[in-house]
Amino acid sequence: MPHYGIRLLESPEEMRLIERLSDDIWRGGPLDVVPAHIILAFVHNGGLAIGAFQDEEMVGFVFGFPGISKIGQETRIKLCSHQMGVHPDHRGKDLGFMLKKAQWQMVRQQGIDQITWTYDPLLSKNAYLNIARLGAVCNTYKRNEYGDMVDELNAGVASDRFQIDWWTHTKRVSQRLDEENRTVLGLRNYQQAGIQVPYTPETDSNSGLLRPPSKFTSPSGSLALVEIPTNFQTLRETDISLARDWRFFTREIFEEGFSTGYLVTDFIYDRSQKSPRGFYILTKGESTIS
């Protein structure tokens, strides 16, 4: 495993490194790259930018800015974590986890207890990192949040997003970040707990791709299992119509679940069968946030 250094970024030169690395990651042209001067303004006004380096080359980053969160009648400060990216040559080496853990440490020192960010709920690797490993939770679904996107990773499918909450001072998050000692629940654990399965995807006999069924049973009870494809980016590249079907199908079940009091609390990446499978866990109520 290569050695990486994680450090706080503050100078204009470091912001330009983020700008150049963003272009390498998203390859969508200048419209999809946050200008260095904007990131610098974030950092000089309470935001945070953190970089991952191999020797002196930046290979990953995360940055965010202060925002306002309203919970009931209470207004509070949060960090809006806007972007995180890792160079394609350095993925699969835990840099995303390392960058987010450094962000968690810095935000706690600032006295802020909430970080929010968005991600595509159909990207299983992101789901596993954000929900299972970092301990974030979600009950907010945003339709086509960024409009029509043209970069290589998003073009052609509505930019629906989960907005997730990362409660930095909770036991839940501290336990998830302690990977050596935390308890990991697998699919069998949830099945033994009597989890509801609102639908079962169909497998196309020709392509082998998962297809959403025509309908689902509304989530009920304390736990519900929502399966998504584990290869959505490949699916989007090979069958854009099927990718859109998955977008609209899962949009409906998540919006219904969230509107009736469910919360995403876990993600299972199950490798026990020939082909891996990915499952969100919906939990009724908010008791698992603490």
- pLDDT score of 290 more than 70: no
How confident is the model over 85-108, as pLDDT tens digits? 999 999 999 999 999 999 999 999
The hierarchical CATH code for the domain 5-177 is 3.40.630.30
d(CA 199, CA 80): 34
Q: Which helix (H) or strand (E) holds 279?
A: strand 277-284
Choice between 156 and 207, residue whose per-residue pLDDT is larger? 156
Give per-residue pLDDT as tens, 106-124: 999 999 999 999 999 999 9
pLDDT band at residue 154, thresholds of 50, 70 and 90? Answer: confident
Q: How confident is the model at residue 286 (pLDDT cuts 50, 70, 90)?
A: low
Q: How far apart are CA 44 and CA 230, in angstroms?
A: 39
| Predicted local distance difference test score (pLDDT) of residue 149 | 83
Percent of the chain with pLDDT over 70: 96
Give the residue from 77, 93, 95 showing the smallest Cα distance to 85.
Answer: 95
Residue 283 has pLDDT above 70, yes or no: yes
Indicate the domain borders of the chain: 5-177, 187-284
DSSP assignment letter at 138: E
Rounded to the nearest integer, the mean pLDDT of the chain is 93
- Give yes or no for residue 54 having a pLDDT over 80: yes
Residue-level pLDDT at 31? 57
